[in-house]
Structure formats: structure tokens, C-alpha cells
Amino acid sequence: MAAKKKAKKKYGATVGRTVKKVMEERKEGTLRSGRSKKKVTSRKQAIAIGLSEARAAGKKVPPAKAAKKARKKAAKK
């Protein structure tokens, strides 16, 4: 019988704090997006911004879906 692999955590401990901070900004109405600086009202977009900030800070976050697809495509070739 094969031994089960121990599951690794996908996200680091500090990533949750980063996302929480961004979600609070969204709730207050002070969260702005990208170059347009439009106000973010979407919960999903706020989470994406938080994860993006965590990636930029070098925290343990899995790559974005678009980057993951690009890697798979390159691996096939």
C-alpha cells in the first residue's frame, strides 16, 4: 500500500493578512485598481489585488491562472 503524501500549504501565513487588509480597504471604499485608479467594489477583484500584492512582496502564493496556463503550454512544446 502506498503511503499518502503530506499535503503542502498553498498559501503562506502572511498572505491572509495582506488579503484582509485589501478587503478592509474595499469595505471603506478606498481601494483603487491599476492605472485607471477606479474604485474597486467587487469582492473577487479585491482578493485578486491582495494576492497580486502578496506575490509582488515575495510571499508564498501559487502563480496566477494565466501564468499557470502559459507554463503548461510552453512545457508541451
pLDDT tens for the 77 residues of the chain, in order: 667 777 788 889 899 999 999 999 999 999 999 899 999 999 999 999 999 999 999 999 988 887 777 878 888 87
50 Cβ contact list (under 8 Å, min separation 6): 15, 18, 19, 20, 21, 22, 23
> What predicted TM-score, i.e. pTM, was given to this entire model?
0.74
Strand partners, 32: 39
Domain ranges of the chain: 15-76
What gap in Å lies between CA 42 and CA 26, rounded to an integer? 8
Do the Cβ atoms of 51 and 61 come closer than 8 Å?
yes
